[in-house]
Amino acid sequence: MIIRTNTSGFEHPHPAEITPQGAYLQRREWLRTLAVGAVGAAAGSWASRQAFAQTSRPGVLTALAGTPSGVAGAMSMDKLTSYKDASSYNNFYEFGFDKSDPARLAHTLQTSPWTVEVEGLVKRPAKYTLEDLLKLSPMEERIYRLRCVEGWSMVIPWVGYSLAELIRKVEPTGNAKYLEFVTQTDAKTMPGLRSGSLDWPYVEGLRLDEAMHPLTLLSFGMYGEVLPKQNGAPVRLVVPWKYGFKSGKSLVKIRFVEKLPVTAWAKAAPQEYGFYSNVNPSVDHPRWSQATERRIGEEGGLLAKKRKTLMFNGYEAQVGQLYAGIDLKKFY
């Protein structure tokens, strides 16, 4: 068992003690430009992000920066979604089903102390404090597209490391085929639990090979700061080629199992939400098309021109081999 109680690194200090978000983004852009080289496309993206950095609000959470990731496909050159949009238009059902509910209500979430229990078919089960998890691997910055089933998307600079680092640490047994991810359930601080809309706790799942893929991120921050509560503080999953509801927030348990997990949305509406939930323009939701999407924050708002949805959310080159030979319309 790994138990430590020092979580002071996630306290919320005075804003004057924190590197301003604009300065952070400028520094990250400079480093990224050096990393990718002086090519025309990179230069254009850098210029647009510089303009974004100049208008960002100062940081108000504990700084949490990472070096730019070297994982293939982890550093999208798309224009970043503004911090304001990324932190105010969210799905976090424990705080309500309206997109504005989490930003309005998640301040009640208690993130310290925090532990994540790893159990099931592993040789080294453990209960990790936040400090333990932060020390497990160096922090990286990754710029991922995040796609929602309702047809909207964002581009967010996440901070964390590959979930595979934790998986290797706990040593799954040969019978482990899937992972279950369980979100915090606390009716005192999570008003959405009172609705009874889902069978709580919120559970999501991945195949072991999906969880081991380098792009699957255990995230502790975004925009160079620790995660805001409405975005899944203090630790969440980010699986960029799947619809956003697959990326469990405020994780308290990771369980290794042999059989396919019954996930929250698959239990609530199996005809609408399959286990895989890969972004796939050819598989429509029963109530709307998935062929196009609208990027949150783009000029025009709800009237902005839609863009074509990319297979696996644009990560086909990196993850397509995981599904070779699988009928993705049947196993949606």
Task: Tell me the pLDDT tens digit for each residue of 250-286.
Answer: 999 999 999 999 999 999 999 999 999 999 999 999 9
Give the number of other Cβ atoms within 10 Å of residue 104's Cβ: 12
Return the SS3 of 57. coil
Residue 136 CA from chain centroid, whole number: 18
Are 160 and 136 in contact by the 8 Å Cβ rule? The answer is: no
Nearest to 249, CA basis, from 265, 228, 266: 228
Alpha-carbon dihedral 128, 131, 135, 136, rounded to 10 degrees? 20
Q: What residues contact 291, with CB distance under 8 A and at least 6 apart? A: 281, 282, 284, 308, 309
Candidates 69, 301, 278, 105; CA nearest to 187 is: 105
Residue 40 in this model has a pLDDT that exceeds 60? no
| SS3 state of residue 71 | coil
Per-residue pLDDT tens for 145-204?
Answer: 999 999 999 999 999 999 999 999 999 999 999 999 999 999 999 999 998 889 999 999
Q: Among 113-122, 127-136, 282-291, whose mean pLDDT is lowest?
A: 282-291
pLDDT value at 303 more than 80:
no
Query: If we measure between CA atoms, which residue out of 42, 234, 249 comes closest to residue 146?
Result: 249
The H or E element containing residue 32 is helix 21-36
